[in-house]
A and B are shown apart, each in its own frame.
Chain A
Amino acid sequence: MSEGLRKKKILVVDDSEMNRSILADMLGDDYEILEATNGVEAIAAIKERESEITLMLLDIVMPQMDGFEVLSIMNKGGWIGNIPVIMISAETSSNLVNQAYDMGVTDYISRPFDGKIVRRRVNNTIMLYTKQKMLQGMIAEQILEKEKSSSLMVDILSNIVEFRNGESGLHVLHVRTITETLLKHLAEKTDQYDLNHTKIAMISLASALHDIGKISIDEKILNKPGRLTDEEFVIMKTHSAIGGDMLMNVAHRRDEELVKVAYEICRWHHERYNGRGYPDGLKGEEIPISAQVVAMADVYDALTSKRVYKPAFSHEKAVEMIMNGECGVFNPLLLECLQDVKEYLKEELENKTLKSVAEDEVQSMTEELIAKGDTIASDRTLRLLEQERIKYQFFASMSKEIQFEYNVDTDMVTLSEWGAKYLGVDELVMHPFEDEKMAEILNVEKMHEIRRKVRATNYTNPVVGGVYRLHVNGEDRWHRMTVRAMWEGTEEKMHYTGAIGKFANVDEDYKRMDSLEKEASHDTLTGLFNHMNARKLIEAVLAERQDHTYSLILFDLDHFKDANDQYGHLFGDNVLKHVAQKLTDNLRREDIVARVGGDEFMIFLEHGGNFEAQVKRIFQVVDGEYENFQISVSMGVSLAPKDGEDYETLFHAADQALYVSKRGGRNQYRFYDNSMKGTLSVLSPMDGEE
């Protein structure tokens, strides 16, 4: 592993300046110290520079967000697996310490700090993590590497050997299986060779290359039917050294572990434990374990295979010959291994075909990885948390809802991954009530309204809801909010710690409801308000009238019955629509225009004093022609507050004025005055005209 030139960074999280300073002094020579004065700052630092932070020293008792909350967020965010945390605190209660360990803390240093101890623990923890990381990295790499190269290499080599050596291609595979089996068993027996999974996999893989040097041996010698002469045997023996040289010449990959291991195997797989092998006559443990194991595998497979110069020996016979030293002396420990695994080996090799090799590989890789995974994430709690996190994430992403958590002490909102993406914000939002982006999504007053609602809940009834319009991706969408307040403590003394909840998109439902509501409050033919709704609106305006003045105008179309009779109802409807359109075009948005009966309309509008001109203008606006039908109206007007201050009175007065207009010959407008009191009503059933 190469050491970077830059110093590794340690994040020190402690509210006491003095403590940070002491730790900085103790560690400053070897590490770069980043400081955070509380949990909120710590999380911000992690979010920003996760990949740079090698280790975190974390105090427990801090204002704003304490150490445990930091750990809990680190667990949730999956950061705890990447950044080792050492707790530093004056706390000595074993409860707290245990809780810290449960939450994934690697080590615990209590005050007072001892410079040497702090340095050593920090170094150890970093080393441990680095090692673990490296291992994880290697396994990952190995899987990739395997997929890339292993089957390819096996294919190529099998072919080469098959073509040139006349041996069955299965030799390479057999050597590999035997090598792997022996190594695994050896690793169980002793740790003297430092055989971890990675190394075993690598040696097994490299074993395929053991005879690569044979490529350079003359075909006549290689494939000679019958025993080799001494001279030929000397040439044959060069294949191991040549194989080694070939690997050394893979210039740019010389430093790769796989190439190194392959080199050992190629050059030394004909060495023997007693120093009587070739090419270097290495003795005992001078021979790398990789080469020792492959040597035994090679011999075993040669014995059990048919050669031009010899028959295939049985499995039992081969083992016996090796045990007796008939094929050279082997490491006694390896001989023991062979004895232990011989039955298993026999079965394995009998069933070995090219296809099953590949399947086996996947199988064993998976098994080993699972086993390895256990040792890496030694802390069960962590894994459970991780699982919970995955579950939560999965469900959250399926639900297409914005899920959130708010913590009152830290004043921070955590959003579900999906929710954050949907809203286009970070998953962690500090100080949401002051956050500009949040304010764009939901207006600040609404946020405070929700906060008030939530805080007004109690322990037994903590859920509140509501429908809010969120501004997402440039458009407003309706969302139904459900929030549960989190209360903590005992019944007598509860305190509010935050809330969890969700926003679900109900935009379509709402838009549909919106239009239903509109339909209900509007006249379907003309799109104007209906009588009931107009009345409500007018009453609302009058209730807040203060010193404003209004006119209430009622009118109906003269001789409308003729239109219907002469041209049919459809035509009549079109006339009504035409009038409604004229009104809408010529009145202000705040004026209330309604169709209150068959051909009766009502207008309610504020007048700035000159009400007569206003009424005249409207009277003239509706006056005109629609497809040869002459439109004129009779109009009655009452004024607020002069003729009344409530809807009933005003409506009645306008109604009476209208009656007077009609009696006066139609096509005119009249303002109510006291002389009209007691006259008949147009809109009452007593209307003689209809």
Chain B
Amino acid sequence: MTIEEFYATFDPSGNEYANVMGRLATERLVNKYLNKMLDDKSYGNLKQAVADGDYKTAFMASHTIKGICMNLNLKPLADSSDALTEELRNDPDAGKVEELLKQVEKDYEFVADGIRSIG
């Protein structure tokens, strides 16, 4: 799969791909950051922190994921991590956090699978 095809898996319009290329200029860089994202510990930290009920740490991790996804135009994960971040920011509701985390997990796994299959 090419990088363009990867972006098309969640955005057939091609807008997200065009945007990320416009900002980061080369496929080499986009590819570099996509792979860096897989190495980033925030996702693991987020799950652990939510499991521990440590919402302050979870907020940081979720916030980081959101930032990364915005930078890489990974729209679905950017949206779901944004929702989770906002829930975690003030007085989080445990039930809602669980629910929003599930969506983040789903989107993350989808994105991660996609990145791994970029050839």
Chain A contacts to B: CB under 8 angstroms: 15-19, 21-22, 25, 61-63, 89-90, 111-116
**A22 contacts which of B22, B40, B71 (Cβ < 8 Å)?**
B71
Determine if A16 and B29 form an interchain contact, defined as CB atoms under 8 angstroms apart.
Answer: no
Q: Of the 9-residue stretches B59-67, B100-108, B109-117, which lies at the interface with chain A? A: B59-67
Q: A19-B71, A90-B63 are in contact. Are A113 and B36 (CB under 8 A)?
A: no
Q: Which of B63-77 contact A (CB under 8 A)?
A: 63-64, 66-68, 70-73
Q: Which 7 residue pairs of A and B lie closest in terms of their CB atoms, listed nearest first? A: A114-B23, A111-B70, A90-B67, A112-B70, A112-B71, A16-B64, A61-B63
B69 to chain A, nearest CB (A): 9
B54 to chain A, nearest CB (A): 12
- Which chain A residue lies CB-closest to B25? A115
Q: Is B33 an interface residue (CB 8 A)?
A: yes
Q: Is B94 an interface residue (CB 8 A)?
A: no
Known: A15-B60, A25-B24. 11 other contacts (CB 8 A): A16-B40, A16-B68, A17-B40, A21-B33, A22-B33, A22-B71, A90-B67, A112-B19, A112-B20, A113-B23, A115-B23
Q: Can you list 26 A-B contacts with CB-CB less than 8 angstroms, sorted by A residue number?
A: A15-B60, A16-B40, A16-B68, A17-B40, A18-B36, A18-B37, A18-B71, A21-B36, A22-B24, A22-B33, A25-B24, A25-B29, A61-B59, A90-B63, A90-B67, A90-B70, A111-B67, A111-B71, A112-B23, A112-B71, A112-B72, A113-B23, A113-B71, A115-B23, A115-B24, A115-B25
Complex CA distance for A269 and B53, rounded to whole angstroms: 81
Q: Is B42 an interface residue (CB 8 A)?
A: yes
Q: What residues on B are CB-neighbors of A111 within 8 Å?
A: 67, 70-71
Q: What residues on B are CB-neighbors of A17 within 8 Å?
A: 36, 40
Find the residue from A18, A114, A115 having the highest chain B CB count within 10 A: A18
Q: What residues on B are CB-neighbors of A18 within 8 Å?
A: 33, 36-37, 40, 68, 71
Kindly supply a per-residue 1/0 record for chain B positions 44-87, scoring 1 wherever the CB is within 8 Å of any chain A CB and 0 otherwise: 00000000000001011001101110111100000000000000
Q: How many residues of B contact A (CB 8 A)?
A: 24
B86 to chain A, nearest CB (A): 10
- Which chain B residue lies CB-closest to A90? B67
Q: Please report whether the interface of chain B is mostly helix, strand, loop or mixed according to DSSP.
A: helix
Q: How many residue pairs between the two chains, A and B, have CB atoms under 8 Å in the bound complex?
A: 54
Q: What residues on B are CB-neighbors of A112 within 8 Å?
A: 19-20, 23, 70-73
Q: What residues on A are CB-neighbors of B23 within 8 Å?
A: 112-116
A11 to chain B, nearest CB (A): 18
A302 to chain B, nearest CB (A): 65
B87 to chain A, nearest CB (A): 15
Determine if A16 and B24 form an interchain contact, defined as CB atoms under 8 angstroms apart.
Answer: no
Complex CA distance for A22 and B63, rounded to whole angstroms: 17
Complex CA distance for A116 and B57, rounded to whole angstroms: 33
Q: What residues on A are CB-neighbors of B67 within 8 Å?
A: 16, 19, 89-90, 111
Determine if A61 and B24 form an interchain contact, defined as CB atoms under 8 angstroms apart.
Answer: no
- Which chain A residue lies CB-closest to B64? A16
Complex CA distance for A170 and B37, rounded to whole angstroms: 76
Complex CA distance for A114 and B37, rounded to whole angstroms: 18
B100 to chain A, nearest CB (A): 17
Q: What residues on B are CB-neighbors of A21 within 8 Å?
A: 33, 36
Q: What residues on A are CB-neighbors of B73 within 8 Å?
A: 112
Q: What residues on B are CB-neighbors of A114 within 8 Å?
A: 22-23
- Which chain A residue lies CB-closest to B63? A61
A33 to chain B, nearest CB (A): 15
Complex CA distance for A90 and B84, rounded to whole angstroms: 14
Q: What residues on B are CB-neighbors of A22 within 8 Å?
A: 24, 33, 71
Q: What residues on B are CB-neighbors of A116 within 8 Å?
A: 23
Q: What residues on A are CB-neighbors of B64 within 8 Å?
A: 15-16
Complex CA distance for A19 and B24, rounded to whole angstroms: 12
Q: What residues on A are CB-neighbors of B24 within 8 Å?
A: 22, 25, 115
Q: What residues on B are CB-neighbors of A115 within 8 Å?
A: 23-25
Complex CA distance for A16 and B64, rounded to whole angstroms: 6
Q: What residues on A are CB-neighbors of B37 within 8 Å?
A: 18
- Which chain A residue lies CB-closest to B20? A112
A597 to chain B, nearest CB (A): 69
Complex CA distance for A16 and B42, rounded to whole angstroms: 9
